[in-house]
Structure 1
Amino acid sequence: MTISVLVCDDQALIRTGFATIIDAQPDLEIVGECGDGRAAVDLAHRLRPDVVVMDVRMPGGDGIEATRRLAGAGVADPVTVLVVTTFNLDEYVYEALRAGASGFLLKDAPPAHLLNGIRTVASGGALLDPEVTRRLVGRYAARIRPPEGRGPTDVLTPRELEVLRLIADGLSNREIAVALQVSPETVKTFVSRILTKLGLRDRVQAVVYAYRTGLVT
């Protein structure tokens, strides 16, 4: 199956570089390019790509608002968004994750990381760099008012809470399995139950939720 990709970045050189790397892969295909958030939304609605590779800060409509319109809460037919950014744009990345992005990469990451990231989010996974994720969410979660209603301790079992804390620490399913001495398949079942019970889409939202509710700090 070929994964269709839309690249949105206001820097033509980066856009072209991404497109060249992606199109060279037999399982990936560039279906469009654009340079601002408004164009990204229009093209995504028209082309329906499997993944939008989205810059965060752009003139003429930024990537955060575009992500919210494509993948945010309440969107009837959401599009998967992979955000790309630099280290000095932490706040923008955090807001993009809250807006519904399935993950993020740094622009100076090796090409293999970009390709792996596209494949990961296209298959329904979430792409998180553990160190950066903890720094981002830990830094900005205090600004976000905890959601109203029942918290995680009212909904999840003790074991599910333990798994959620490990997810928030950036651990993969395999790493969680080792930590808890269970099989990866068992962890996958726990993760699915956690997302369903909390009404979350993916691991990115689970991380943000854990910090917002004070489960981890």
Structure 2
Amino acid sequence: MSVRVVVVDDRRLVAEALASALRVRGHRVLGAGAPVSRAADLVVGKQPDVCLLGSLEPDAPGALDPVQRIRRECPRVAVVVLGPVPRPRGVAAAFAAGARGYVRHDERIDGVERAMFRAKAGDAAVSPQLLREAFAELLHPRTGAEAEGARLAALLTEREADVLMRIVDGEDTRRIAAGLGVAPSTARTHVQRLLTKLGTASRLEAAALAVRTGLVDHLPHHHRAPC
């Protein structure tokens, strides 16, 4: 089933790459571009079935104003927000603004396509777990650092948590690989995936984030570096 779609992201290359992938799958891309602030104008002019709107900070003030305008002026258009590793308040803000879905930036194209189909059909295109977390956060808000540490901890696999603890303990790639019983190249892959999930650019930044947010307190301490 083909969907008429508009793709908008503050990063033009991201919008164009996603648009190309959707065209390959047989969807009709009516427009793709940047920035997000012009999403409503593009939607009003093109009248798609679905608008994929990429936002780096969906919970930032004014970030979802285009969604509200689309909802007001083109109520039949389903907006799916493509955001970072989900923050409950960001997800809640997206739906409050009128979006019908929320998909992570690192989702595979299959997941984006499923979200498009669900949103077009009028269904909420978001995982039940994410919705529960969003409403739980709104009903029982925690302090900023505590909430962030708990949120990040929930995203990590057991292996990624182990890698993070080793990074916090100051281990280099060779020692991480030895501790995990894997090749150094595999250890580097684990580290890179961890940095991507945490939204950090370096191991030092990841370690600082883990300590600052209390993330380390939410992780299983099954590994400690020898003294």
Aligned to 1:47: 46
Q: Deviations over 1:176-207 (max 9, x none)?
A: xxxxxxxxxxxxxxxxxxxxxxxxxxxxxxxx
- The change in CA–CA distance for 1:13 and 1:70 in structure 2 (over 3 A counts) is same
Partner SS for 1:87: coil
Taking the aligned partners of 1:103 and 1:87, their CA distance within structure 2 comes to 14
Distance 1:49 1:76, change over 3 A: closer
Query: Unaligned stretches of 5+ in structure 1?
Result: 144-217
Identity %: 21
| Contact map agreement 2:49 2:78 (CA 8 A) in 1 | yes
| Distance of 1:89 and 1:35 partners within structure 2 | 23
Report the RMSD for the aligned CA atoms in angstroms.
2.5
Aligned residues between the structures:
139
TM-score normalised per structure 2: 0.55
SS in structure 1 of the partner of residue 29 of structure 2: strand
Deviation at 1:128, TM superposition (A): 1.7
Residue 133 (structure 1) aligns with: 131
C-alpha spacing 1:30/1:139, structure 2 compared with 1 (3 Å): same
Shift, 1:131, TM fit: 1.7
Residue pair 2:44, 2:74 contacting (<8 A) in 1 also: no
Instruction: Report what 1:97 is aligned to.
Output: 95
Taking a change above 3 Å as real, the CA distance of residues 130 and 67 of structure 1, as seen in their structure-2 partners, is same
CA distance in 1, matches of 2:7, 2:62: 14
Q: Is 1:3 aligned to residue 26 of structure 2?
A: no
Structure 2 equivalent of residue 108 of structure 1? 106
Q: 1:141 to 1:70 in 2, by over 3 A?
A: farther
Q: Give the distance between the partners of 2:85 and 2:49, measured in 1 at CA.
A: 26
1:88 CA displacement? 5.3
Q: Who is 2:20 aligned against?
A: 20
Answer yes or no: is the 8 Å Cα contact 1:6–1:51 preserved in 2.
Answer: yes
Deviation, 1:13, is: 2.8
Unaligned runs of 5+ residues in structure 2 are: 142-227
Match of 2:120 among 117, 122, 125: 122
CA–CA separation in structure 2 for the residues paired with 1:39 and 1:98: 20
- Helix, strand or coil at the partner of 2:113: helix
Equivalent position of 1:34 in the other structure? 33
Higher-Rg member (1/2)? 2
Matched letter for residue 105 of structure 1: V
